[in-house]
Every structure is written in structure tokens, then in C-alpha cells.
């Protein structure tokens, strides 16, 4: 049977592997800001912000009041960072970096749940917080030695249609190599629905500690990504331009390039493993949705699962449907499913699939599906864990990446 016929014969499962109770569950943090803080964010986020939001009865994460509540604290931290940086000492720079990063983290929460600049910013208040986050993060990155943050505007030489002409990326490169190699292995990091370039310092530090360069960029339909989110082929053109830049830059070992896609970025990692298999030594698809994720049956309940705010409107906008949620629910699977579009039938590079078996955002079935098509795959699933398989997941990813990188020496 042809792949397209098989795809159309794959309806949503009658029983999801996460179990009916978990699938049907409406998590309590969706009951308002107070519930979100008390059940999900009490530990990682200061109660001062949320007590203020609760007192003012702010229950809409998309509201200007929500976003603006975080700005004064971020500005105060930035000012303290400026004062520490002015000391000029090593301790002062370290303190400044920590303060700037705290401010950037607060601004990440301020711009939740989702922003896009394509074709124009969807939320002006959150976009302002995004621009401020980048500006403060830039200050932190300038202090990191010997691998400071570099903001690069990569020419989108393969842009087509509504694509924009530059790809904003963060690049960090390790110190000069001591083993005689003149070029650095590299990791392309695809961000997710709401975690963007300034939110991945720890991962980039892990790459640098292993002698790998880090290239971080957003996925179509989010933040600064220039790719047309409504065009299923735009991510292929994005990678074409990225690889052309990597080859022309001269600092990177193009024979040792890995890709890691996070959450919604996992979808693009799976796609890249197939469409650009000759350019990638290996790919990690971490929490990927590939086929069932786009089904109405799944999305009808995913709205009430792990995501902190409203999920479906964000996804509709992210995939180019704007405010037309019904059109997204009706048409996204046929347009974007990697099974229905034939991508999964292609051979792929080495591909590691990582997730929790109780992921309520991207069904574990979407990772398991890949074992039935194309090239053999590898996987590590965490029983009972939620989206992304945290906190255990990274402990499996880094050793795999090290082994794949070493195989090409």
C-alpha cells in the first residue's frame, strides 16, 4: 500500500497510551492565575508577581496587565546588572551576568504564552517584553568569556514567497581547538512554541563544554523566525540557507553537525532528519508531534493538559491560520502531518526520539509512529513522565550526542 494511503488509514487511536483518565483530565492550573501559581509555578517563580496579579484579578495571560506586571522588576534587575558590570572586575561581570539572566527569565514569563512577528507582532505588549528580553540577554552574553554571545543575521538566500530575507540566530563558538582541528563541530538548536533564543543558556554551555559550537534559532511561526508558517516547505528553505551559511562561514566542521529540536521544535527536527539527512550527522527530536498531534481528537483534550495557558489559539497562529481556530483543527493534519505528506517514508539520518509516555501535548504515539516508516530509529521514552520527559531526559540526550559526534572523527 502506498504511504499516502497508509497515512489516511491512520485515525486517532481509540485508546491513547497515556490512558483515558490522563487524556480526559483537565489540569487544575487552567482554573486561573491563582491556580496556575499554586499548582504549577509556586516554586520556580516569586510569589510577589502572582500575588499582585491575583489581587488585581488578572486571569488572562494574553492581557497587557499580565505582561506589564513583570517589567518593573526586570528593569530593576537590569539596573543592578549595569552597576555590577561598571565595576569592571571579574566578580562584577559574573554578578552582572547573573542579574541580567534573572531579568531575562522574568521577561520570558512576561511574554508567555506565545508570540510571533509573522506577518506582524500578534501582541504589542508581549513583543515589547520580547525586545527587552533580547536587549538584556545581549548584555549578559557580551560578558561571557571565552565564548561570548554573537547575534547573527544569516542571509536567507533560499527565501521564497512570504519568507523574510534574514534569519536571526544566536551563535556561540568554543575557544580555539587544541587538537589541531581548525573547525568546530556544531549543534543547531530549534526552539519551541514559547521558549526562544535567550532561554537556552544552559544547553549552549553544555555544547561549549564539549567543544561544540551552538547555533540557536526559532521555528516557523514563532518570535523572529522569517519562514512563512503557513507553508509546510518553508522550514526546508530555512535549513538550506542555514547550511549555506555554515559552509561559507569557515568556522564550522560541516561533517559534524547535529540538530536538537525542543517540543514544537521536535517536529522540525524530525523533518530535518529526513529532508537534510546528508547535512546532519544526527538529530534529536525531543517531545515531537508529527501526525496525531494535528488531529482534532487529540487537540480537543490537549488544551487542558500541561501547557500553562490556552494552547489551541497559539498553535493556530503558529501554523499560519491566524485567529481561525476551526480552520486549524480541520486542516492542519492534512497540511502538516509528516506521515500524510510522505516525509516519514523517506530515509533519515540517525534520529533519537525522546519523550515522556504521558506527554499531554505531543502524544507519545507520534514518536512511536516513526519506527514503522523509513530508516531505523533510536529512542528513549520515560514511563509516566509528562511533556519532554523531564527531569530525566537530558541525561540520555547528551551521551547519545557525544557518541554520534565521536563516530565521525
CB 222 within 8 Å of CB 294: no
Q: With respect to residue 49, please indicate whether it lies within any of the assigned structural domains.
A: no
- Compute the Cα dihedral for 243, 248, 251, 253 and give only its sign: positive
Q: State the maximum Cα–Cα separation within the chain, in Å, rounded to a whole number.
A: 69
305 among known catalytic residues: no
How far apart, in whole angstroms, are the C-alpha atoms of residue 169 and residue 173? 13
* pLDDT value, residue 37: 80
176 among known catalytic residues: no
Last residue of a domain, one of 123, 143, 163: 143
How far apart, in whole angstroms, are the C-alpha atoms of residue 351 and residue 307? 26
What is the number of structural domains in the chain?
2
Catalytic residue among 263, 264, 332, 348: 263
How far apart, in whole angstroms, are the C-alpha atoms of residue 361 and residue 372? 22
Last residue of a domain, one of 97, 121, 143: 143
Based on the domain organization, do 209 and 330 belong to the same domain?
yes
Backbone angles phi, psi at 216, to 5 degrees: -115, 130
CATH of the domain at 192: 3.40.50.1820
Tell me the β-bridge partners of 355: 381
Buried-state track 194-228, b at ≥16 Cβ within 10 A, e below 16: bbbbbbbbebbebbbeeebbbbbbbbbbbbbbbbb
First to last CA, the chain: 40
Per-residue pLDDT of the chain (409 residues; tens, 9 = 90+): 345 555 555 788 878 999 999 999 999 988 888 888 888 877 656 666 666 777 677 888 888 999 998 999 999 999 999 999 999 889 999 999 999 999 999 999 999 989 999 999 999 999 999 999 999 999 999 999 999 999 999 999 999 999 999 999 999 999 876 566 779 999 999 999 999 999 999 999 999 999 999 999 999 999 999 999 999 999 999 999 999 999 999 999 999 999 999 999 999 999 999 999 999 999 999 999 999 999 999 998 999 999 988 999 999 999 999 999 999 999 999 999 999 999 999 999 999 999 999 999 999 999 999 999 999 999 999 999 999 999 999 999 999 999 999 999 7
Based on the domain organization, do 275 and 135 belong to the same domain?
no
CATH of the domain at 139: 1.20.58
Total residues found in the chain within this entry: 409
> 86 is in which domain, residue-wise?
60-143
* pLDDT value, residue 347: 98
Q: With respect to residue 94, please indicate whether it lies within any of the assigned structural domains.
A: yes
Could you tell me which of 204, 209, 200 has the C-alpha nearest to residue 175?
209
pTM of the predicted model over 0.85? yes
CB 231 within 8 Å of CB 271: no
Tell me the β-bridge partners of 378: 352
* pLDDT value, residue 3: 53
Based on the domain organization, do 234 and 334 belong to the same domain?
yes
CA distances from residue 245 to 47, 171, 238 in whole angstroms, order as listed: 45, 12, 11
Catalytic residue among 199, 253, 359, 366: 359
14 exposure class (CB count in 10 Å sphere: 0-12, 13-18, 19+): exposed
Based on the domain organization, do 161 and 237 belong to the same domain?
yes
Catalytic residue among 224, 253, 387, 396: 387
* pLDDT value, residue 1: 36
359 among known catalytic residues: yes
Torsion of CA 247, 250, 254, 257, to 10 degrees: -110
How far apart, in whole angstroms, are the C-alpha atoms of residue 275 and residue 271? 6
Based on the domain organization, do 85 and 192 belong to the same domain?
no
Last residue of a domain, one of 143, 160, 194: 143
CB 140 within 8 Å of CB 96: yes
Place of cell 509573522: 118
Q: With respect to residue 385, please indicate whether it lies within any of the assigned structural domains.
A: yes
Q: With respect to residue 14, please indicate whether it lies within any of the assigned structural domains.
A: no
* pLDDT value, residue 10: 77
Amino acid at each position: 500500500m502506498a504511504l499516502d494511503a497508509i497515512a489516511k488509514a491512520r485515525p486517532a487511536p481509540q485508546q491513547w497510551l497515556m490512558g483515558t483518565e490522563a487524556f480526559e483530565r483537565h489540569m487544575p492550573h487552567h482554573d486561573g492565575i491563582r491556580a496556575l501559581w499554586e499548582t504549577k509555578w509556586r516554586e520556580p517563580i516569586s510569589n510577589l508577581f502572582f500575588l499582585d496579579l491575583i489581587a488585581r484579578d488578572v486571569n488572562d495571560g494574553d492581557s497587557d496587565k499580565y505582561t506589564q506586571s513583570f517589567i518593573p522588576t526586570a528593569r530593576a534587575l537590569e539596573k543592578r546588572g549595569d552597576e555590577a558590570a561598571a565595576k569592571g572586575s571579574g566578580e562584577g561581570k559574573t554578578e552582572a551576568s547573573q542579574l541580567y539572566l534573572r531579568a531575562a527569565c522574568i521577561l520570558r514569563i512576561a511574554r508567555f504564552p506565545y508570540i510571533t512577528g509573522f506577518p506582524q507582532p500578534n501582541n504589542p505588549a508581549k513583543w515589547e517584553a520580547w525586545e527587552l528580553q533580547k536587549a538584556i540577554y545581549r548584555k549578559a552574553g557580551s560578558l561571557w568569556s571565552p565564548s561570548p554571545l554573537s547575534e547573527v543575521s544569516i542571509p536567507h538566500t533560499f527565501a521564497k514567497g512570504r519568507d523574510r530575507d534574514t534569519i536571526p540566530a544566536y551563535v556561540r563558538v568554543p575557544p580555539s581547538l587544541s587538537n589541531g582541528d581548525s573547525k568546530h563541530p556544531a549543534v543547531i538548536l530549534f526552539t519551541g512554541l514559547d521558549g526562544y533564543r535567550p532561554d537556552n543558556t544552559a544547553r549552549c554551555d553544555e555544547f561549549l563544554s564539549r567543544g561544540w559550537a551552538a547555533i540557536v534559532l526559532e521555528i516557523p511561526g514563532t518570535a523572529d523566525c522569517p519562514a512563512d508558517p503557513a507553508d509546510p516547505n518553508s522550514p526546508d528553505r530555512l535549513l538550506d540557507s542555514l547550511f549555506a551559511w555554515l559552509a561559507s562561514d569557515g568556522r564550522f566542521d560541516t561533517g559534524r553537525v547535529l540538530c536538537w529540536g525542543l517540543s514544537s521544535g521536535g517536529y522540525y527536527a524530525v523533518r530535518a532528519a529526513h529532508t537534510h539527512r546528508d547535512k546532519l550527522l544526527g538529530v534529536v527530536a525531543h517531545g515531537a508531534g508529527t501526525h496525531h498531534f494535528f488531529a482534532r481528537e487529540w487537540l480537543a483534550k490537549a488544551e487542558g493538559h500541561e501547557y500553562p495557558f490556552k494552547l489551541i489559539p497559539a498553535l493556530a497562529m503558529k501554523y499560519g491560520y491566524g485567529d481561525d481556530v476551526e480552520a486549524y483543527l480541520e486542516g492542519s493534519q492534512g497540511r502538516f502531518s509528516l506521515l500524510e505528506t510522505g516525509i516519514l517514508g523517506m530515509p533519515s539520518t540517525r534520529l533519537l526520539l525522546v519523550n515522556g509516555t504521558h506527554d499531554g501535548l505531543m502524544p507519545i504515539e507520534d514518536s512511536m509512529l516513526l519506527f514503522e516508516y523509513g530508516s531505523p530509529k533510536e529512542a528513549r521514552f520515560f514511563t509516566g513522565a509528562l511533556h519532554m520527559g523531564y527531569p530525566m531526559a537530558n541525561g540520555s540526550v547528551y551521551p547519545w550526542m557525544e557518541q554520534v559526534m565521536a563516530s565521525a572523527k
